[in-house]
Amino acid sequence: MTTKIKRIKPERVAVIHNCTQEEQIKKLSMILVGNGNPEDGYVYKVIKLGDHIEAINEKLTGISGIVKELHEDSVAKKAVGKTSDQVKVDHREKLRSILTVISTIVIACGLITTAYFGFVNSRKNDIVENKVESLGTPVLTNPRGVIMGVPDSTQIRFWPKDFNDTNKPMK
């Protein structure tokens, strides 16, 4: 099954005006120059608008001068106030810098002390391990120093781990 597509052409529409060129000129004359009354025309209104813009610019120029004077006065007042405030700020800045230096020195001393004791303790642990290893194998001797055999029922206990509960049977 084939489908045919029908193309629709746009319709052309003609608009017929009843006005003539003379009527259009009259309308434009009325809009632009007021047709004998210039205050109603846009040309006159645009000229008046330019005058208003000039007046506004003059007012803004006067205001900017006043703002500039007020800004200079406030800057001068701040400069006078800064002399007394500046001394306080300088004192605070010096105090902060001194505290920063002191805290840096304290932190550095703490790090050096930590490193020193860490090194010393690691050496002490090595020495203790060497002493324990050099003890040898434990043996039982009689009072004369002769090595004795250990019976099978002999138990080795450690203090206080094996003696904390006397009612507890040994493992």
pLDDT in tens, the chain (171 residues): 566 666 666 676 666 656 677 777 777 777 777 767 777 777 777 788 888 888 888 887 888 788 888 888 888 777 666 565 566 667 888 888 899 999 999 999 999 999 888 888 877 777 776 665 665 666 778 888 888 877 777 777 777 666 665 555 555
Name the DSSP letter for residue 168.
S
The total of structural domains in the chain comes to 1
Residue 131 lies in a domain: no
Give the pLDDT of residue 109. 92
Residue 141 lies in a domain: no
Residue 84 lies in a domain: yes
Residue of 43, 13, 14 lying closest to 28 (CA atoms): 43
Distance (Å, whole) CA 150 – CA 14: 131
Give the pLDDT of residue 15. 60
Q: Which residues, 6 or more positions from 35, have their beta carbon under 8 angstroms from its beta carbon?
A: 26, 29, 41
Residue 51 lies in a domain: yes
Domain holding 38, by residue range, is: 21-126
Give the pLDDT of residue 23. 76
Residue 11 lies in a domain: no
Residue 147 lies in a domain: no
Distance (Å, whole) CA 74 – CA 46: 41
Residue 96 lies in a domain: yes
Give the pLDDT of residue 99. 92
Examine residue 143 and say whether the peptide bond preceding it is cis (omega within 30 degrees of 0): no
Asked if residues 29 and 35 have their Cβ atoms less than 8 Å apart, the reply is yes
Q: What residues are paired with 147 via a beta bridge?
A: 141
Q: What are the backbone dihedrals phi and psi of residue 147, each rounded to the nearest 5 degrees, phi first? A: -70, 135
Distance (Å, whole) CA 155 – CA 151: 9
Residue 43 lies in a domain: yes
